Structure 1
Amino acid sequence: MFVTALLDPDFCYRVARSRDARFDGQFVLGVTSTGIYCRPSCPAMTPKRANVRFYPTPATAQAAGFRACLRCLPDAAPGSPDWNLRADLVGRAMRLVGDGVVERDGVTGLADRLGYSARHLNRQLIAELGVGPLALARARRAQIARTLIETTTLPFADVAFAAGFSSIRQFNETVREVFAATPSALRAKRRTAGGQVPAAGPGTIALRLAYREPFDAPALWAFLAARAVPHVEVVEGDTYRRTLRLPHGVGSVALTPAAGHVRAELTLADLRDLGTAVHRCRRLLDLDADPVAVDTALGADPALGPLVAAHPGLRVPGAVDGAEIAVRAVLGQQVSVAAARTVAGRLAEQYGEPADADGARVFPTAEALAELTPAALPMPASRARTLIALCTALAGGDLVLDAGTDPAEAMEALQELPGIGPWTAGYIALRATGAPDVFLSGDLGVRRAAAQLGLPDDPRALDEWASRWRPWRSYAVLHLWQSETS
């Protein structure tokens, strides 16, 4: 039996007995008497302590011979916040596996992205999680397959293809092993139960993206609305819509907050991009965060406490495309948010690819922008040169901004480019990598809000003061920004 030092069995059992949903996704429990693994908040009767084993991921439980509970659906829980906190090999690997890199590039491709050999990567993952990248990817495929089986009427051959299985046989075997039911039985059961989510429009897949309470959706949606790029993003009421550039084609998503989840309506050119699209939307909305841990830490600070109390569950807006965020950060240098979005919209209209017949466009690629001359860009020449240098580094692979990027390394590499200083590099790291511990001490809004709280407004002194907010300084930045708009 695999046991990780990161899990305290007695603590985990107390969590399971209390059915504390905050820990859903942080570990699963396997019940030896039933052969089923569950999320900690499963409503079923808590088994005896002697019959319970604890595992850090569903893949680990599956490798130990357990099948997923069809009552609590442990694979549908929010992801573990640990992977966003960690910039080490395992944390970066887990984020890339979630993005679908193994399905697209294989284990060797995953290892290459991380800068290690496949053998070393496999050894590190097994040492900490009990399973290697293939098992983690298999669990991801099973989750996508179950989602498509239960929420669409797609033929099972199409479901298998979209989930990343190499054959119908592999798809059938995996579904039976993980869920102890055939694909037909899963679909029939969900129909009998009345369906998982309301039906979406033609060609659209509707899903529920779970999160941990509390969740300050209004503040997050307001942040996205203020920066929405014309032709790419729009906020209509409580729905945020945007186009997506995905590995196998373009797509779009509409995200609407609801009780206990965010409703996502995805339209994809290629169904193989479903898992990647979901993963990137979750990162955009910071849905795998542990808001109780963040709010408890920051709320204990006398200065930040009132801000946290006013906005419990505030999230750090992430990105669906790191390169896009980097370009937009450069466009926002020394100009207002409104001016930056206007320029970004002009670039999208001129150089972005059409996403639908209604005029929506995907944001231009770094490759397309790298080919332009400074004179072709609607901005001062110095900023245009910075933008082209950035896009050239992104297009050539010298700079990578994705789920597997180390935030510290990204900030260092960004500041080596002409015209990119600490603020721009920090903002890109905060949003493009989802780093929870980036502090923008040089940001005018942060300094102004800090001064109103009686904190130092000198960047160096403020940075030193903010060290007490580790490892959640990105959330502190959002609270300071939010205090400026409240």
Structure 2
Amino acid sequence: MDEDTRYEAVRSRDARFDGVFFFGVETTGIYCRPSCPAVTPKRRNVRFFATAAAAQSSGFRACRRCRPDAVPGSAEWNARADVVGRAVRLIGDGVVDREGVPGLAARLGYSARQVQRLLTAELGAGPVALARAQRAHTARVLLQTTGLPVTEIAFASGFASVRQFNDTVRAVYATTPSGLRAAAPGSRRTTDPATAGLPLRLAHRGPYQAGPVFDLLQREAVAGIEEVLGVPGRRTYRRTLRLPYGTGIAAVDERPGRARPGAGGWLEARLHLTDLRDLTTAVQRLRRLFDLDADPYAVDERLGADPRLAPLVAARPGLRSPGAADPEELAVRALVGPAEAGRLVRRYGKALDAPCGGLTHVFPEPAVLAEAEPGGTLGALTAALADGAVRLDAGADRDDAQRALLALPGLRPRTAAVIRTRALGDPDVAPPGTDVPDTWRPWRSYALRHLCAAGRPEP
């Protein structure tokens, strides 16, 4: 998109581009999402940015009306397999907060200077600025949904000091932390997030077909770590999470919330975390599981042009290709199936301190499984995951991961394709042995989901 096209999207308040780019208004010093309902600024006063972090780094503060920091992530960075896409996914997973820029660079196989240069060139902001913008958003969520002390929120959000936290909130939101808290309705605020959980709205762009996603999760549910409650249309998916600082329990409702026609919506969720520092990571992993950063307009436009897929796309606009909340767990489950995965959970999973409904355990770590059951393909897979020979984290190179998977004894190409689609979030996978036309690229994973949802056989 050139700048004239972007300005037309702003003039028409086109929600399809929320999260794809941001615009700042030089006369006000405020940056917004394209669908902001405020008065359209004059073209000469508008600057465009690829990320919220770039707008913030240029001195713009977030609009209080359209809340540009709460938009879905750009589908481009999640779909891309290059170093920039991998870096953005790692930053979203909290790697910079936990390991710093050197840790991010090491995971990507580049120097810190190269990573800084690549991200700045494409996104208008380096890794520190991107992580800072993410921390600011996490802080706003905690300030407006909990009654936790400000000091506790500062460190839970990933800030190194209260002063840094205060300075960032003022720079991004043009108010103090207490002012930001006062601007939110008190009815959604919980005083004890450890007991009541954190209420969240997981935003998505465009239409969202929740039914097929929940159907899939219900079919695949592994006893002890997952459960689906309720009836179709009003179900709640619940699962345990293994996170960097502790464990968590997530609950996501099937019935989506709606903002206004054409502006997308959200899934209501609630998180119980043993350590609030895991909030950013937990949210990002849920977003990947439910494929909330996808661009359904681009997917439906391409697949809807195919005569075979056109009626399927018309019947289910916005169909998603679910990912995984835990890529290593998904790889094991893809290999052994739900029943055997349940046995592994019962024998080797880490028990929760307090069971919650049908949720009793966290899925066992690869190192535990590799030691407990070292033989066969399962032993080879878990050992490779444990020692890093197979990497499935947010910044993994998809081609390298697939080659490493296929090198394991007994692991079939179709299983590797499932892992690439779900664990690595690749939107363009065609399983071996399927005759998938090139016209479905780069959305072949979505095309196969349409066929599956309609009960049609693969090509």
- With structure 2 as the length reference, what TM-score do the two structures score? 0.93
What's the CA shift for 1:176? Answer: 0.3
* 1:265-344 mapped onto 2 (5 Å cutoff): 265-331=270-336, 340-344=337-341
Instruction: Report deviation, 1:196.
Output: 8.0
Q: Percent identity?
A: 57
In structure 2, the residue matched to 1:135 is: 129
Aligned residues: 442
Separation of aligned partners in 1, 2:388 and 2:396: 12
Give yes or no for contact 1:285–1:318 (8 Å, CA) kept in 2: yes
Match of 2:439 in 1: 468
Q: Over residues 372-420 of structure 1, what are the superposed CA-to-partner deviations in whole Å (9 max), with x where a residue is unaligned?
A: 236xxxxxxxxx5101000000100111101111222211111011111
Residue among 249, 252, 257 paired with 2:249: 252
Q: Which residue of 2 aligns with 1:432?
A: 423
- 5+ residue gaps, structure 2, are 258-264
Structure 1: 5+ residue runs without aligned partners? Answer: 1-6, 332-339, 375-383, 443-458
Q: Is the 8 Å Cα contact of residues 439 and 466 (structure 1) preserved in structure 2?
A: no
Contact 1:298–1:304 (Cα < 8 Å) also in 2: yes
Q: 2:199 maps to what in 1? A: 206
The one-letter code sitting in structure 2 at the alignment partner of 1:429 is R
Task: Give the aligned residue type for 1:265.
Answer: R
- 1:398-409 correspondence runs (5 A): 398-409=389-400
Give 1:130 deviation, angstroms: 2.0
Instruction: Give a deviation string over 1:241-275, Cα, whole Å, max 9, x none.
Output: 00000000111100013222111100001000000
Matched, 1:171 2:165: yes
- Does the C-alpha gap of structure 1 residues 315 and 440 become closer, same or farther in structure 2, counting only changes over 3 Å? same
Q: CA deviation at 1:86?
A: 0.7
* 2:368 aligned with 1:368: yes
Question: Aligned residue for 2:452?
Answer: 481
| C-alpha distance after superposition, 1:307-361 (max 9, x if no partner) | 1112111111101111101101110xxxxxxxx2111111111111112422511
CA–CA distance in structure 2, aligned partners of residues 271 and 149 of structure 1: 13
Mapped partners of 1:206, 1:469: distance in 2: 38
Matched AA of 2:94: G
Moved over 4 A (4+): 194-201
**Mapping of residues 45-194 of structure 1, within 5 Å:** 45-191=39-185
Moved more, 236-245 or 398-407: 398-407
Which residue number corresponds to residue 18 of structure 1?
12
Give, in whole Å, the separation in 2 of the partners of 1:61 and 1:83: 17
Please tell me the residue identity of whatever aligns with 2:371.
E
8 Å contact from structure 1 (residues 255, 262) kept in 2: yes
Secondary structure (helix, strand or coil) at the match of 1:251 reads strand
2:267 maps to 1:262:
yes
* Cα RMSD (Å): 1.7
Deviation at 1:197, TM superposition (A): 10
| TM-score normalised by structure 1 residue count | 0.88
Residue 349 of structure 1 aligns to a residue in which SS?
A: helix
Q: Which residue identity is paired with 2:380?
A: A
Q: What is the DSSP-based 3-state SS (H/G/I as helix, E as strand, rest coil) of the residue aligned with 1:286?
A: coil
Are the aligned partners of 2:146 and 2:193 in contact in 1 as well (CA < 8 Å)? no
Residue aligning to 2:261: none
Q: Could you say which residue in structure 1 is the equivalent of 2:21? A: 27
CA distance in 2: counterparts of 1:356 and 1:471, whole angstroms: 44
Distance 1:198 1:108 in 2: 37
- Structure 1 residues 309 and 441: CA distance shift in structure 2, 3 A: farther
**Are residues 1:241 and 2:257 paired?**
no
Query: Could you tell me how far apart the structure 1 residues matched to 2:194 and 2:120 are?
Result: 42
Residue 275 of structure 2 aligns with an amino acid whose one-letter code is D
